[in-house]
A and B are shown apart, each in its own frame.
Chain A
Amino acid sequence: MRDAARTLWRELRRDRARAIVSLLGITWGTLAILVLLAFTVGMEELFDERSAGLGDGIAIAWPSRTSKSWQGLPAGRSLAITRDDVLAAGNAVPVLDAISPEFRVQDRIASADAALRVSICGVEPVFARLRTLRPSPGGRFVDARDVAERRRVVFLGDRLALRLFPRGSAVGREVRIGRTPYLVVGVLEQKEQDSDYGGKDEGLAFAPSTTLAAAYGRRFVNDCVFRARDPERQAECTAAVVAALAARLRFDPADRQAVSVWDTTEQQRMLGWIFLGFHVVVGIAGAVTLMAGAVGIAHLMYLMVRRRTAELGLALAVGARPAQLCRELRAQTLLLVGAGGALGAVLAFALVAIAGAGPWTAETGVPRIPLALGVAAVLVLCACAVAASALPARAVSRLDPVMALRN
């Protein structure tokens, strides 16, 4: 290897301009493939994070109107679901991870500093886990005792808390919802959220489902939120929840219009496919750039072989085997491609680090070069080296020492 490197260095010094251009072709290709994919990875992670802001693999179901007659009951009935219906459905579905009913009311919420009209959600404790509602330090979400004892406690969205209590922490303070006082037990930790149903969580208030139902005389829920234990079985879980509700509310479980369902995992799956396509297209574009660089290296190596024909003929005459010379040539190509690739990788990591520190990452995501991408880039570079050395190696293997010495 040391001999191959010495010979390569000697030859490159003879043709510096061509060597630099060929090397930069590989550098540019590596830089392009790594940086482009790093940005798509960052963007995908940002989308995932925002998508998870609504909830982690959840489905939201709300009652609607039947479209089929069922067991003597006519089509066109409006369905109404109680909290008990939701909790009973949850108990009946083994593949379910968690389910929470959700009441929604619009009312005035007031502190000593401000008064606003907002949506208040009446939910179970498990709702926080389903909807990724993490309390800021020092606070908590609605708990089981709050629900059991119908406590007048409330968990505020971070933006709402800031508007109600602009001068300090909201936790432990009192707000009035309508005319009823509630104790603020927690404030939402700031999060990214790209979709919602009835307002982003930062502007909502969350109270125990039992408290809200009693305070507003509500018997029927607006919707319920649930997810499967295994995300791959979400469709099965949704069908089972609808079937359980159908059994209690007496509608055809095959009636797709009776209960509307928004399965966010379908959206996430779709997004996954879109990004996969994006990665593939960008990867191919980068690989083509890299292949163009490899053509430059192949040309350089071929010229080197032609220029060294007499020297290679001499090597054969003094006992070098053609396979030895081919191996040496492949090692030289690998060194050259490796040097260009290493330079490209260093530049890519530097560029990604700089880009990842900018203010634009809120919109573009933080670009990142995952280990798998690094390994893939190394494999592509090796393939380039093998491809680039193929033609020159063939020329070497066909050298006739007598003819080469006459060269």
Chain B
Amino acid sequence: MSDRTVDAPLVSLRGVTKVYEREGAPVRALDGVDLEVAAESYVAVTGASGSGKSTLLHVIGCLDTPSSGSYRLLGEELASLSADERSLRRRRIGFVFQAFHLAPRMTALDNVALPLRYAGVSLRDRRARAAAMLARVGLADRSMHTRAELSGGQQQRVAIARALVAKAPLLLCDEPTGNLDSKSGAEIVALLEELAAEGRTLIVVTHDLALAARARRRLRMTDGRITGDEAS
């Protein structure tokens, strides 16, 4: 049941807590997080390993559910949805992972088209849209290449094209330059900046301070809590 409101922030978390069981002991990965992200924001989240950055991203991306608290995306409460309902909401979100997560035996084109396949788009349409998106990230000539035939930077561009192809209003990036050399990393940073400039909402989790410095808003996380929030 949607209770979406018109001028609500794109992302809104209130008192979100996530507690895991690890070897019988509870671990508070998120500890009462309050956060609002407006549309067309470019947010970087930094923090030490284990500070809760990735968990925050998983909760915002509906890959995980909070143990308590409220999470609204586009004004709709998502904290207590079923697995099937969360899958449907994930169609509003694009993911870019550190490890790229391209299907190894699919071509770049099919990888980019993957979200459209499960959204019920016809094969012809999804191939056309995927090809256009590959052209957008500068890989039109690599569309029929498989993962093994692409460099790390190219794989991450394919992953970004995949995140963009369904026209999701929110793009979540988990260490997008973490597995790249400095040159490829710089290219990805530039691409993300372009997307932000086009008005897309980006939340980027990173250890890369240079990348974080380019964001318009920077959050710092410590022990599952947001301990710093600055805008430039």
> Pick the contact of A318 from B58, B83, B90, B105 — CB < 8 Å?
B90
Contact B97 A405 (CB under 8 A): yes
Q: How far is the CB of A73 from chain B (nearest CB, A)?
A: 88
A-B contact pairs, 9 of them (CB 8 A): A3-B123, A314-B103, A316-B63, A318-B91, A319-B166, A321-B88, A321-B118, A324-B118, A405-B101
Can you list, as one digit per residue, whether each of B51-94 has a CB less than 8 Å from chain A (1) or not (0)?
00000001001011000000000000000000110011011000
**19 extra interface residue pairs, beta carbon distance < 8 Å, beyond A3-B123, A315-B114, A319-B87:** A14-B105, A310-B101, A311-B103, A314-B101, A314-B114, A317-B95, A319-B115, A319-B118, A319-B166, A321-B88, A321-B118, A322-B87, A323-B84, A324-B87, A324-B118, A401-B63, A402-B58, A402-B64, A405-B97
Which chain A residues lie closer than 8 Å to B114 at the CB level? 314-315, 318
What is the bound-complex CA distance between A315 and B88, given in angstroms? 12
Query: Number of residues in B with C-beta < 8 Å to the partner?
Result: 24
Q: How far is the CB of B58 from chain A (nearest CB, A)?
A: 6
Which chain A residues lie closer than 8 Å to B128 at the CB level? none
Which chain A residues lie closer than 8 Å to B162 at the CB level? 318
Can you list, as one digit per residue, whether each of A287-314 has a CB less than 8 Å from chain B (1) or not (0)?
0000000000000000000000011001
Contact B101 A3 (CB under 8 A): no
The answer to whether A2 has its CB under 8 Å from any CB of chain B is yes
What is the bound-complex CA distance between A324 and B83, given in angstroms? 12
Chain A residue at minimum C-beta to C-beta distance from B105:
A10
Which chain B residues lie closer than 8 Å to A316 at the CB level? 63, 87, 90
The answer to whether A320 has its CB under 8 Å from any CB of chain B is yes
What is the bound-complex CA distance between A10 and B107, given in angstroms? 12
Chain B residue at minimum C-beta to C-beta distance from A318:
B115
Can you list, as one digit per residue, whether each of A1-24 has a CB less than 8 Å from chain B (1) or not (0)?
011000000100010000000000
> Pick the contact of B118 from A2, A311, A320 — CB < 8 Å?
A320
The answer to whether B119 has its CB under 8 Å from any CB of chain A is yes
What is the bound-complex CA distance between A311 and B166, given in angstroms? 18
What is the bound-complex CA distance between A10 and B105, given in angstroms? 8
B residues 109-152 in Cβ contact with A at 8 Å: 114-115, 117-119, 123
Which chain A residues lie closer than 8 Å to B119 at the CB level? 319
Can you list, as one digit per residue, whether each of A385-407 has a CB less than 8 Å from chain B (1) or not (0)?
00000000000000001100100
Query: Once A and B bind, how many residue pairs between them come within 8 Å at the CB atom?
Result: 56
Please name the 4 residue pairs, one residue from A and one from B, whose CB atoms are nearest each other, closest first: A319-B91, A320-B118, A318-B115, A321-B87
Which chain B residues lie closer than 8 Å to A318 at the CB level? 90-91, 95, 114-115, 118, 162, 166
Q: How far is the CB of A405 from chain B (nearest CB, A)?
A: 6
Chain A residue at minimum C-beta to C-beta distance from B115:
A318
What is the bound-complex CA distance between A14 and B104, given in angstroms? 12
Contact B84 A322 (CB under 8 A): yes
Q: How far is the CB of A398 from chain B (nearest CB, A)?
A: 9
What is the bound-complex CA distance between A246 and B58, given in angstroms? 95
> Pick the contact of A317 from B84, B88, B90 — CB < 8 Å?
B90
What is the bound-complex CA distance between A315 and B91, given in angstroms? 11
Q: How far is the CB of B117 from chain A (nearest CB, A)?
A: 6
What is the bound-complex CA distance between A3 and B117, given in angstroms? 8
Contact A319 B88 (CB under 8 A): yes
Can you list, as one digit per residue, whether each of A217-240 has a CB less than 8 Å from chain B (1) or not (0)?
000000000000000000000000
Most A Cβ at <10 Å: residue of B63, B119, B123? B63
Chain B residue at minimum C-beta to C-beta distance from A325:
B118
Report if A315-B118 is in contact (Cβ < 8 Å); known contacts: A2-B123, A321-B84, A402-B58: yes
Chain B residue at minimum C-beta to C-beta distance from A2:
B123
What is the bound-complex CA distance between A401 and B117, given in angstroms? 18
What is the bound-complex CA distance between A405 and B98, given in angstroms? 11
Which chain A residues lie closer than 8 Å to B123 at the CB level? 2-3
Which chain B residues lie closer than 8 Å to A3 at the CB level? 117, 123
Q: How far is the CB of A149 from chain B (nearest CB, A)?
A: 85
Chain B residue at minimum C-beta to C-beta distance from A11:
B105
Q: How far is the CB of B119 from chain A (nearest CB, A)?
A: 6
Q: How far is the CB of B69 from chain A (nearest CB, A)?
A: 18
Q: How far is the CB of A109 from chain B (nearest CB, A)?
A: 83
Q: How far is the CB of A44 from chain B (nearest CB, A)?
A: 50
Q: How far is the CB of B192 from chain A (nearest CB, A)?
A: 19
Which chain A residues lie closer than 8 Å to B118 at the CB level? 315, 318-321, 324
What is the bound-complex CA distance between A156 and B115, given in angstroms? 83
Chain B residue at minimum C-beta to C-beta distance from A316:
B87
Which chain A residues lie closer than 8 Å to B84 at the CB level? 321-323
Chain A residue at minimum C-beta to C-beta distance from B162:
A318
Q: How far is the CB of B124 from chain A (nearest CB, A)?
A: 12
Most A Cβ at <10 Å: residue of B88, B90, B118, B166? B118
Most A Cβ at <10 Å: residue of B58, B87, B103? B87
Which chain A residues lie closer than 8 Å to B88 at the CB level? 319, 321
Contact B63 A402 (CB under 8 A): yes
Can you list, as one digit per residue, whether each of B28-62 has a CB less than 8 Å from chain A (1) or not (0)?
00000000000000000000000000000010010
Chain A residue at minimum C-beta to C-beta distance from B99:
A405
Which chain A residues lie closer than 8 Å to B95 at the CB level? 317-318
Which chain A residues lie closer than 8 Å to B97 at the CB level? 405
Chain B residue at minimum C-beta to C-beta distance from A317:
B95
Which chain B residues lie closer than 8 Å to A14 at the CB level? 105
Q: How far is the CB of B103 from chain A (nearest CB, A)?
A: 5
Q: How far is the CB of B134 from chain A (nearest CB, A)?
A: 16
Which chain B residues lie closer than 8 Å to A405 at the CB level? 97, 99, 101
Which chain B residues lie closer than 8 Å to A315 at the CB level? 114, 118
Q: How far is the CB of A396 from chain B (nearest CB, A)?
A: 11
